[in-house]
Amino acid sequence: MKTSGSSSTRDSSSRQDRSAVAVKSVSKVFGAGAQAFRALDDVSVDIRQNEFFTLLGPSGCGKTTLLRLIAGFEQPTSGEVLLDGRDFSGKPPYQRPVNTVFQNYALFPHMTVAQNISFGLEMLGRPKDRIKAVTEEMLRLVQLEAMADRRITQISGGQQQRVALARALAPQPKVLLLDEPLSALDLQLRKEMQLELKRLQTDTGITFVFVTHDQDEALTMSDRIAVMNRGEILQVGTPREIYNKPQHRFVAGFVGEINLLPAETTGVNEFSIAGGGCLRSSEAAHVPVGGQAVLAVRPECIALSEPSDGSLTGVITNVVYHGTDTIFHFKLADGQELRARSQNNAARVQTFATGDQIGWSVDPASVSVLADDPS
Amino acid sequence: MTRAGKHTLFRILLIGPALLAITVFMIVPLLLMAYISFRGRDYSGGVLWDQFSAEAYVRLFFERELDGSLALNLNYMFIILRSVWLSFVTMVISLAVGLPVAMFMATRDAKWKAVLVFMVTLPFWTNLLVRNYAWILLLRDHGTINSTLIWLGIISEPLPLLHNSFAVAVGLTYSFLPFMVLPIYASLEKIDLRLVEASFDLYANRWQTMRRVILPLAYPGIVAGCVLVFVPALGSYITPELLGGGKTLMIGNLIGFQFGAARNWPFGAALGLFLLALVLTSLWLYARRYRGELEGGR
């Protein structure tokens, strides 16, 4: 399934709407013959100007390869990558108006913080006073003025992260590529940097293309997310769309926790689930009546109650307390396990115990219908 | 015995053998050499142990006339100067040849790297003497190179390739090239390729990346290589002896001559110490420059 998040319905000739990065039917094959590995398989995506765009997927899904193709470190086997509407095929990285924040930062160890930041501007041959001014501005932007003359080895991981960011932003690229830049930081610092990155993107107005395998990170920062798996882009959408309306079983499972229920289509938006009972979805089924479908329901969308006539039923198998909320694991008549997440609220405490018979229900708006795709 | 005491004893035992080796094989001979250099000369070889004399050091710069007066004699200084010059030339040529070779090696696959490193060290498996004789066969008037050039009609008379400074420089470069290649290769090989990518990403082309990123990071290896070539070249003996044909003397041959045919041990010892002082001074100058470089940042 190839999904393009393009803005093709709008007038694509206007400057505002011209995509910052346009990836057109790009494939990338590493190696040859029997060892050939298809890292990207006919991928197309449009990344808009001033957008915080995230490539999300498990390791080996091709997200870093796609980033390296945009940067120019790799050349596509087929297809093309347009930057700001211009074809840069075959051009080396140093001729492309993009900069990269590397996963391990790749800061120059033989230079100071300030020298690292001014490197790109020097290579572009900017005048000396301009280089000095921009470098100072960048140091201020990432709050490292005091560290300007320190060596890279003399600053902390979080500070190195900021230097890498400042170094990539200093030449004012059209697009900033970020390759899992936060993965080396501890949780506290990572949360801070997520907000900081979002702030920097808004302040500078530069298009950010961010690669991560962390769904929280993707949901927190992105304007739009492309979920990738096995060299394909499965779905492109806003964080809300990706989370609430996954179109693909893999997307549903990768982003957040989800319950997947095999079901048979019994009406336009009615399904009979294997464990017994009937669920409705506000989404019209794209599966013909009598066909198999998979219903996806987020744990927080399942409401538990005392069993009553006509309601769906189950038996509690486990109760896990998480502080802010409690997860109830329960089993349907056919043995399938589901999870329901209930927020812990002093005014409304749910006290079910293991073995209790419960009733459960889901708002039709919270039920997604996925094609029954084995992946 | 206390725990701390045991610990100290253990350390002394561990460091002992090395300390003993350095004392017996380096410090004692060095002191002995310094002592001999200030003793009188026994014309039948050896030293007059009971006679103090600074004559050996006077001899470095002056010649004693028959009437006992001193006349300036820079012949020895000239040989020393030539030694320094030839060693320097050797170092520069080795660097010019060794850097691209090391760079080529460092950018190959792991499998190839092992083969190439082995090939660079291959000459060490053959005796230095044999390898220098091989160069005689190549460079002499009717040797491979001259015969080939005459056969091709490029020259009619053989070129004077052997028994001069050129031959010595060629021989020294050949002998010490691996000492340049290996440390540079080691430092290049350690460079994180992502730094090169970062440089490309920041608009540096190949040449700028080489000058601003790769060479500075390989600098310690380059310095090590230069020292490892320059220092042994300065004290080399076999190569100038064979390829210089006794005409292009270097300080090593001069020292050998004093302990042998000339039977002037004190002067040989004084020359040896002078060479040592020369090496230490050049190393010190280099170290000072290198430290400045580290602090300067570029």
Give domain status of residue B67, yes or no: no
CATH number at residue B119: 1.10.3720.10
The residue in chain A having the minimum alpha-carbon distance to the alpha carbon of residue B193 is A106
* pLDDT in the model for residue B22: 93
Q: Is there a contact between A151 and A123 (Cβ–Cβ < 8 Å)?
A: no
Determine the pLDDT at residue A72.
Answer: 93
- Best probe of the A interface among B203, B214, B219, B223, by most A CBs < 10 A, is B203
Determine the residue of chain A that is closest to B197 in CA distance: A73
**A99 to B202: CB separation less than 8 angstroms, yes or no:** yes
In this structure, is residue B121 part of a structural domain?
yes
The DSSP 8-state label assigned to residue A312 in this structure reads E
CB atoms within 10 A of CB A374: 4
CB contact under 8 A, A93 and B200: yes
Class of domain A258-371: mainly beta
Name the nearest CA neighbour of A53 among A41, A66, A38, A40: A66
CA atoms lying within 13 Å on the CB side of residue A316 = 22
pLDDT tops 90 at residue A35: no
- Cβ(A11)–Cβ(A51) below 8 Å: no
pLDDT at B297: 41
- Domain assignment present for residue B173? The answer is yes
The answer to whether residue A374 scores a pLDDT higher than 80 is no
In a domain, B7, yes or no: no
CB B200 to CB A115 under 8 A? no
Please count the structural domains in chain B. 1
* Tens of each residue's pLDDT in chain B, 298 residues: 567 777 888 888 899 999 999 999 999 999 999 999 998 888 887 888 888 888 889 888 888 887 878 888 888 889 999 899 999 999 999 999 999 999 999 989 889 999 999 999 988 888 888 988 999 999 888 888 888 988 888 888 888 888 888 899 999 999 999 999 999 999 999 999 899 999 999 999 999 999 999 999 999 899 999 999 998 998 888 888 888 887 778 888 999 899 888 888 999 999 999 989 988 888 888 778 766 554 444 3
Contact A210, A53 (CB under 8 A): yes
Flag whether B5 is in a domain. Answer: no
Q: For A188-207, how does the pLDDT look when each residue is reduced to its tens digit (9 = 90+)?
A: 888 888 888 888 898 888 99
Comparison of pLDDT for A211 and A374, the residue scoring more: A211
Q: How far apart are CA B246 and CA B237, in angstroms?
A: 11
- CATH class of the A9-249 domain in this structure: alpha beta
Give the max Cα distance, chain B: 84
Q: Model confidence at A13, in pLDDT bands (50, 70, 90)?
A: very low
Mutate to test the interface with A, among B188, B202, B208, B210 (most CBs of A within 10 A): B202
**Distances in Å between the alpha carbon of B198 and those of A47, A67, A98, A167, B26?**
23, 14, 12, 10, 48
In a domain, B96, yes or no: yes
User: Other CB atoms closer than 10 Å to residue B72's CB: what's the count?
Assistant: 8
Q: Largest Cα–Cα distance of chain A, in whole Å?
A: 80
Q: Cα torsion at B284, B288, B291, B292 (round to 10°)?
A: -170
Domain spans, chain A: 9-249, 258-371
Q: What is the pLDDT of residue A94?
A: 93
Nearest to A102 among B198, B205, B216 (CB): B198
DSSP letter for each residue of A238-256: -HHHHHHS--SHHHHHHSS
Q: Is B212 at the interface with chain A, CB within 8 A?
A: yes
User: For residue range A282-308, what is the model confidence (pLDDT) as tens digits?
Assistant: 876 677 777 888 888 999 999 888 887
Which structural domain, as residue segments, surrounds residue B240?
81-296
Distance between CA atoms of residues A100 and B99, nearest Å: 30
Does B2 map to a domain? no
Provide, for chain A, the percentages of residues in helix, strand and coil under a 3-state DSSP scheme, each rounded to the nearest 5: 30, 35, 40
Q: Give tens-digit pLDDT for A131-162.
A: 999 999 999 988 899 999 999 989 998 899 99
Contacts of A109 in chain B (CB under 8 A): 195, 217
Query: DSSP code of B24?
Result: I
Interface contact flag, A104 B200, Cβ < 8 Å: no
Residue B137 placed within a domain: yes
